[in-house]
Amino acid sequence: MKICLIEDDLELGRGLQSALQDAGQEVVWVRRILEAKNWVQDEPFDAILLDLGLPDGNGLELLRYFRSEGKTVPILVITARDSLEDRLSGLDLGADDYLVKPFVTTELLARLRAVVRRSTGWNESGESVWKVKDLVLDDRRMLVTRDGGAVVLSKTEFGLLHALMRYPDRVLTRRELEARALPNSDGQALDVHMSNLRKKIGEGYIRTVRGIGYVVEK
């Protein structure tokens, strides 16, 4: 998994970064809201760990911003704010979980795995096969089949389908899809590749959410 850690405390940030890396995760650690916005805008993350007490603003406002921008990435709030009001505010604004400091690292890792598992279907066994209806995508073998028959896709088409099937029932924004499969897109190429992908896999898998992006529905 690729994790964005948003935490301004140097000691805690280093400790969390080290613990996550030891657990086999890729970690980008930032300490300011502006840095976080830039990273999350340009990079696809599997989860975000968000501290609320940041030096240049309120983490809840950053949470609100991510959700208003259509970011569906799982967000786990980590904070010293332990009141019921704060917890409810975080969850109401779109946090997937809320963990109060101080916490045990093993609990953080367990909660992180849980929110990602609920959101994407990721599992610790390294499962690389994703299924939606009769459509099957095997990540390791770079193979897509429909009703048992092979579907030949380009590298970009495979990347788009992989992103969508990893996050079924979640709308992925155009920006997220471009970051994952079309990093040098001019903004129009996505529609062309998506049209070609739909022709190859058939109707009934990918739905357009106008003005936002696309979603694969189970």
User: 49 exposed, middle or buried (CB, 10 Å; 0-12, 13-18, 19+)?
Assistant: buried
Distance CA 138, CA 144 (A): 6
Per residue in 97-156, pLDDT (tens digit) is: 999 988 888 899 888 888 887 665 544 444 578 889 999 998 778 899 999 899 999 999
Q: Which residues sit opposite 57 in a β-bridge?
A: 54
Which pTM was predicted? 0.59
- CB-based burial, 110-122: b 16+ in 10 Å, e otherwise: ebbbebbeebbeb
Mean pLDDT in each 10-residue stretch from start to end of the chain (218 residues)?
91 92 89 92 86 90 88 89 84 88 88 77 58 88 90 93 85 81 76 94 92 86
Q: What is the strand order of the sheet 26-30 is part of?
A: 26-30, 2-6, 47-51, 75-79, 97-100
State the pLDDT at residue 120.
Answer: 56
pLDDT at 187: 65
Distance of CA 173 to the CA centre of its chain: 11
pLDDT of residue 206: 95
Question: What pLDDT, on the 0 to 100 scale, is given for residue 174?
Answer: 84
